[in-house]
Chain A
Amino acid sequence: MKLVTAIIKPFKLDEVREALSGIGVQGITVSEVKGFGRQKGHTELYRGAEYVVDFLPKVKIEAAVKTELVERVIEAIEKAANTGKIGDGKIFVFDLEQVVRIRTGETGADAL
């Protein structure tokens, strides 16, 4: 089992969710996050005061999937979240040791 974490542009969330549903991903967790990468920040101007906003708003999605699905998940996110411009985000893949469905007590791949 793998945990796929992706940082994407907020307005790409719906497309990514649709793409993941399309390949059979059962559920994802979404958080609103802030951060910076190569895109850096932007400047905001309030009357005479100029502020550099270092941290840009992003969306973090997390999906726990079976190992055989992981390549297609990566591909789906890459395709759906791509704008070709700097700041599209990153995908991180981790090994996933254990999963438990709290309601039934099922564990492992059955709980996904």
Chain B
Amino acid sequence: MKRLLASFTLAGALALGAAFAAHASEFAGSLAPSSYGSSPTILAQATAPAAAPAAAAAAAPAATPAAAPPTPNKGDNAWMIVATLLVIMMSIPGLALFYGGLVRSKNMLSVLMQVFVIFSLIIVLWAVYGYSLAFTEDGPFIGGLDRLFLSGIFSIKDGAGTFATAATFSKGVVIPEYLFVVFQATFAAITVALIVGAFAERAKFSAVLVFAVLWFTFAYLPIAHMVWFWPGPDGIKDAATLASETAKGGWLWQKGALDFAGGTVVHINAGVAGIVGAFVIGKRVGYGKDSMAPHNLTFTMIGASLLWVGWFGFNAGSALEAGDTAALAFINTLVATAAAVLSWMFAEWIWKGKPSMLGAASGAVAGLVAITPACGFVGVNGALALGLLAGIVCLWGVNALKRVLGADDALDVFGVHGVGGILGAMLTAVFASPKLGGQGVYDYVANKISADYSIYDQLFIQGTGVLTTIVWSGVVAFIAYKVVDLSIGLRVTEEEEREGLDIASHGESAYRM
């Protein structure tokens, strides 16, 4: 026990070490005043937000120093708070119950526990260094350390407390940076939690935690930065500023990869880490011989439904404001998911003989995954088509493809999230075309939808994003699993596995009969 705790601490310390060394003085200077004795200022600020101008964040307009910086809108704030809460709900309890119902009853608590604790762990790491490395300007592959411990978001100047703002996708529209931090924190947390389904029922709890720290640090943060980081639209005035502002963005952002709410960053990323994990850790004892039927599909249905509802925060919230794009993402998320439920169910009915509850629930998740990268870019008919395809393709993913791959991806993380994510990322290029009812790409110089949109060019860009994510996540995951395996071991003993992880790893049982 001591050994595993020590190695866990070591992994965290390794990731942080350099950061601490470089920023120790700056960190101490900024943390102290904002943490203590400043609450009266915060209250005054909160009640009269218009009186004090928001601080100019890294994302605030730089080209117009004379104009007053934009202030957040209370409607946008309210929506983003709700959206963040929804993503928390889809993670715990949604994802936990969806996964929990799918394992055998002796492993129920281990799955709930892994999701619950990974969520908490990543939230803490996000506040410490994750947000800074993902969402501050530095290089094209990883951000900087300006926001280490979230320093600089709140500051006091001449007795007045100021809160930094974060840019959205609209010029002159900002939200409080703290809100952007927490919204993105929930994305990071659920992404890492998604992976546990692949090695469920046999992984050592300490190994799961150490892996989570390593993969989050070296795979999630760079991919999130590459795909999503940009300084915001406010600095873009003409072709020159478009080029200079875009050059500050992440590597895939610069290429023009479209990923509205996380097809690459969340789903392909987690799906690939999952399948690599299933290969490295090996099959469950008795796989293919013993029955490993889900112990409670009622929980799985409840979990899938919580995921569906929570996903509106995930997708519509990714608009970062309560406007037209949020509404578009909302309806697309609703329609695509419903279509995927039907297509999975009918396909299963035709090929396997019976329409199953597990099939319908899996179809919903497949639809949600596939529409995620597309939801703010495609039209409703595009969403409908995408959903119908997602149900069928992901059913193939958990059947034929799973047999070909031959790994014991216990809860089909790759079959649903990996395959659905790839499908969604690629089809975003197709259905985002204005000719097919999509939004195309926005031209921030002309301030209108760009006239020239090429499906083929965009497919190539999307493919670059997909391949980058697969390779990056796959390599990092493989190394991280190996490091954990060689240091503390990935698996529980065969005896513990047969007894069940609830008792063996956590000393408790989910059910008392």
A interface list, Cβ under 8 A from B? 44-49, 51-53
Contacts and interface: CB of A to CB of B under 8 A. Distances in A.
A30 to B, nearest CB: 17
Given A51-B291, A51-B293, A46 B358 contact: yes
Q: What are the 5 A-B residue pairs with the smallest beta carbon separation, nearest first?
A: A48-B399, A47-B398, A51-B291, A48-B398, A48-B402
Contacts of A46: 293-294, 356, 358
B291 A53 contact: yes
Contacts of B359: 47
B292 A51 contact: yes
Contacts of A51: 291-293
Contacts of A45: 352, 354, 356
B362 A47 contact: yes
11 contacts: A45-B352, A45-B354, A47-B358, A47-B412, A48-B398, A48-B402, A48-B403, A48-B415, A51-B291, A51-B293, A52-B291
Contacts of A49: 292-293
B430 to A, nearest CB: 27
A49 to B, nearest CB: 7
Nearest to B290: A51
Main secondary structure of the interface of A (DSSP, over half): strand
Contacts of A52: 291
Contacts of B358: 46-47
A56 to B, nearest CB: 13
Interface in B321-371: 352, 354, 356, 358-359, 362
Interface of B: 291-294, 352, 354, 356, 358-359, 362, 395, 398-399, 402-403, 412, 415
B419 to A, nearest CB: 12
- Choose among A46, A47, A48, A51 the residue with the greatest number of B CB atoms under 10 Å from its CB: A47
Contacts of B412: 47-48
A15 B359 CA distance: 36
A48 to B, nearest CB: 4
A53 B293 CA distance: 10
Nearest to B411: A47
Contacts of A53: 291
A29 to B, nearest CB: 19
B390 to A, nearest CB: 15
B405 to A, nearest CB: 11
Contacts of B403: 48
A48 B348 CA distance: 10
A59 B482 CA distance: 50
A90 B213 CA distance: 59
A45 B351 CA distance: 12
Contacts of A47: 358-359, 362, 395, 398-399, 412, 415
A11 to B, nearest CB: 20
A44 B354 CA distance: 10
A51 B352 CA distance: 13
A52 B293 CA distance: 10
- Choose among A44, A45, A48, A52 the residue with the greatest number of B CB atoms under 10 Å from its CB: A48
A4 to B, nearest CB: 29
A36 B403 CA distance: 30
Contacts of B362: 47
Nearest to A49: B292
Contacts of B291: 51-53
Contacts of B354: 45
A63 B352 CA distance: 43
Contacts of B415: 47-48
Nearest to A53: B291
A41 to B, nearest CB: 10
A38 B403 CA distance: 32
A51 B395 CA distance: 18
Given A47-B395, A49-B292, 16 more contacts: A45-B352, A45-B354, A46-B294, A46-B358, A47-B358, A47-B359, A47-B398, A47-B399, A47-B412, A47-B415, A48-B398, A48-B399, A48-B402, A48-B403, A48-B412, A53-B291
A89 to B, nearest CB: 24
Nearest to B294: A46
A62 to B, nearest CB: 22
B412 to A, nearest CB: 6
A55 to B, nearest CB: 10
A46 B300 CA distance: 12
Nearest to A54: B291
A47 B366 CA distance: 13
Contacts of B395: 47
Nearest to B291: A51
Nearest to B344: A47
Nearest to B288: A49
Contacts of B402: 48
A87 B398 CA distance: 34
A51 B287 CA distance: 11
A45 to B, nearest CB: 6
A53 B403 CA distance: 21
A47 B359 CA distance: 7
A53 B304 CA distance: 26
B284 to A, nearest CB: 11
Contacts of A44: 293
A44 B402 CA distance: 18
Contacts of B293: 44, 46, 49, 51
A49 B293 CA distance: 8
B343 to A, nearest CB: 15
- Choose among A44, A46, A52 the residue with the greatest number of B CB atoms under 10 Å from its CB: A46
